Structure 1
Amino acid sequence: MASAVLPAALAVMLTSTGAAQAAAPVDYVAPVDYVALGDSYSSGTGAPPYQSGTCFRSSRGYAPLWADTHEVSSFRYAACGGATTQSMTDQFAALDAGTDLVSITIGGNDVGFANTMITCVTGTDASCVNAVDAGIEAARTTLPGRLDATYATIRDRAPNATVVVLGYPRLVEPNGTCMNATKRAALNRGADDLHEVIAARAAAAGVRYVDARAHFAGHGACGRSPWINSFSLLRLVESFHPNATGYSQGYLALLNSATS
């Protein structure tokens, strides 16, 4: 999520704590024209192999898995690792009046979570807490307007589509082996704040929001049954992104809950 180096997942690091929020099933008639927008959590980063290019798009991401298991008339996979609300012009081009369904994760990279995650992995407790607090401030002040503009553009480009906004999960298990208790608590506090901002702006825009936190609970990085990759210098781009199970049992299940 956070940057081109650590796309969508680091954004999520500051994302979550509590229970999943259910979305009412999408009211559409199959087959559907489906467009998947968003950052690396929507492009499947963390579950290689990837398509060519720099978006780290994977066929094991939740979007192609959904398209493979539902009746679709077209599927456009526009999501790109590292995307922010300010870099979605090319993605918006995939939308049109015939689009029936749009899914998206976005917002984490706008508030600098890659840097926050790296700081928390490598720095002191104080530097981690300060980085989280800076991310929270950005989430509360800068992000709302950007999300409003993003959702409005989607509505304008795809006026007939149902829009499903998927939230970010808690990335590290509260009692896991990643970092220490102070850092884990700070990251989860930041994650909750990001959830609240995204959920509020989705509601204001009249789009559907699905809270990922409860569904991923017990499956964070460094726990006993991880759906999230832990930090690795050798696989830096995949750090703190969902693994294949995180997409198939995590995000796909969440999108299914909103569309069936």
Structure 2
Amino acid sequence: MRWGVLLAALALAATGCEGGQAADGDLDLPDPVVETEVTTDIDYVALGDSFSAGPFIGTMRTDPTGCARSRDNYPAFLADWLDVATYTDVSCSAATTADLYERMRMFDGKTTRPQLDAVSADTDLVTIGIGGNDFGIYDSLIRCQDGTLATCPVADLEADARKVADRVEQAVRRILKRAPEATVYVVGYPDILPTEGTCAAVGASPAVLGPVTRVAGLLNDSLQEGATAAGATYVDMEAVSEGHDVCAKGRAWVNGPRFRAGIAAPFHPKINGMRAVAAEVFREITGEAPELSEYAEPDPDAVVLNRP
């Protein structure tokens, strides 16, 4: 998401801040785990914003540095567990759906190629998690939870969230035009804020949080609507992340309001949240639960480095 703290902390990205990662590297997932070995010839491309990129989780990739893309984001776990033939991750923090088609200006002032440039006729699998930065939706939601209902444009945010459906539908259609044989998974956003009650990590009253979480739910509804209309599969992270929001303490999959180098950007998934997303996408693809790993280790020979 487009938060100033990401820009201020960007210099840490290239150095690989691994301190504290293990503290949030628990394997807390809701479903039983079964051992599964999968060997595939999949050419996998990951698209998306910061909820795919994983800003400041452990070590950052430097291709390019300005995307704040973690080596332990959910695409990396998925590429590892599926044992893909090739793995291209062009997810980028602060991306909007427009950045799928146009060069994007990153936090360091440089630009990177349109994300759809990574998709080709050889692509077999695409994951995409995007839409929350369109119309500044998530930035507005975070500002709302710091204020009152009088200062939160709920009606405007609800209208903007509904508009995302068309953008996601068009994105999936353009992906499939480039890669007609690919299977596309649109990945929803997890719960960030509690659906009931509140806590010190949030700081807002339940009266404020109610409308805020309703907008977040509408955004996920839009992602599902757009995915379904275009023939993609929607991965519902809102359902499985219930009880893992910022107020969940040791069970939280997302970081709170404080920037934590090596752990996560504010109000973004930690490594256990990324692992949970990857597990849910893996189940959608294979019908089975993955054999979990503490960190993501896709085959180095499969990893495609990105040209800026």
Q: TM class by shorter-chain length?
A: 0.7 to 0.9
1:31 CA displacement = 1.5
Q: Is contact 1:35-1:101 (8 Å) kept?
A: yes
Given the superposition, is the C-alpha separation of residues 251 and 233 from structure 1 closer, same or farther in structure 2, using an over 3 Å criterion?
closer
- The match for 1:244 among 242, 248, 271 is 271
**Alignment equivalent of 1:185, drawn from 205, 210, 234:** 210
TM-score if structure 1 supplies the norm length?
Answer: 0.83
Aligned to 2:82: 70
* AA of the residue aligned to 2:85: S
In the other structure, the counterpart of 1:134 is 156
The percent of aligned pairs where both chains have the same amino acid is 33
For the pair 1:83 / 2:95, whether they are aligned, the reply is yes
1:170 maps to 191
Q: Does 1:94 align with 2:118?
A: yes
Mapped partners of 1:227, 1:73: distance in 2? 29
- Give yes or no for the alignment of 1:197 onto 2:207: no
SS at 2:45 equivalent: strand
Give the letter aligned to residue 240 of structure 1. Answer: F
Using the TM superposition, give the Cα deviation of residue 195 of structure 1 relative to its aligned residue in structure 2, in angstroms.
1.5
* Contact 1:175/1:223 (<8 A) preserved: no
List gaps (5 residues or longer) in structure 1.
8-27
Q: State the partner residue of 2:54.
A: 44
Q: 1:168-187, CA deviations, whole angstroms, 9 ceiling, x for partnerless residues?
A: 12211222311220222112
Does residue 207 in structure 1 map to residue 232 in structure 2?
Answer: yes
User: Partner of 2:304 in structure 1?
Assistant: none
Q: Match of 2:285?
A: 259
Mapped contact 1:219–1:227 kept (Cα < 8 A): yes
Output the amino acid matched with 1:85.
T
The CA distance in 2 between the partners of 1:252 and 1:219, in whole Å, is: 15
1:34 aligns to what? Answer: 44
1:47, 1:60 within 8 Å by CA — same for their partners in 2?
yes
Q: Which amino acid aligns with 1:239?
A: P
1: CA distance between counterparts of 2:172 and 2:127? 11
Pair 1:30–1:190, CA change in 2 (3 A): same
SS at match of 2:281: helix
Match of 2:298 in 1: none
Q: Using a 3 Å threshold, how does the CA distance of structure 1 residues 234 and 46 change in structure 2: closer, same or farther?
A: closer
Distance 1:212 1:234, change over 3 A: closer
Partner of 1:151: 172
CA distance in 2, matches of 1:6, 1:194: 24
> Looking at both structures, which has the greater relative contact order when contacts are Cα pairs under 8 Å and sequence separation is at least 6?
1
**3-state SS of paired residue (2:140):** helix
Q: How far is the alpha carbon of 1:45 from its aligned partner?
A: 2.3
Question: Shift of the alpha carbon at 1:32?
Answer: 0.4
Answer with 41-50 or 147-156: which moved more. 41-50
> C-alpha offsets along residues 55-101 of structure 1, whole Å, 9 cap, x if unaligned?
11001101011111222110001111111111113210111111010
1:226 aligned to which of 218, 231, 252: 252
Residue 122 of structure 2 aligns to a residue whose secondary structure is coil
SS in 2 for 1:222: helix
Shift of 1:234: 6.9
Larger Rg: 2
Distance 1:72 1:78 in 2: 16
Distance in 2 (CA, whole Å) between partners of 1:161 and 1:144 is 21
Which range is displaced more, 143-152 or 102-111?
Answer: 143-152
1:146-180 deviation digits (Å, cap 9, x = unpaired): 22221111011111100001111221122231122
TM score, norm. by length of structure 2: 0.71
Q: Is the 8 A contact 1:37 1:79 kept in 2?
A: yes
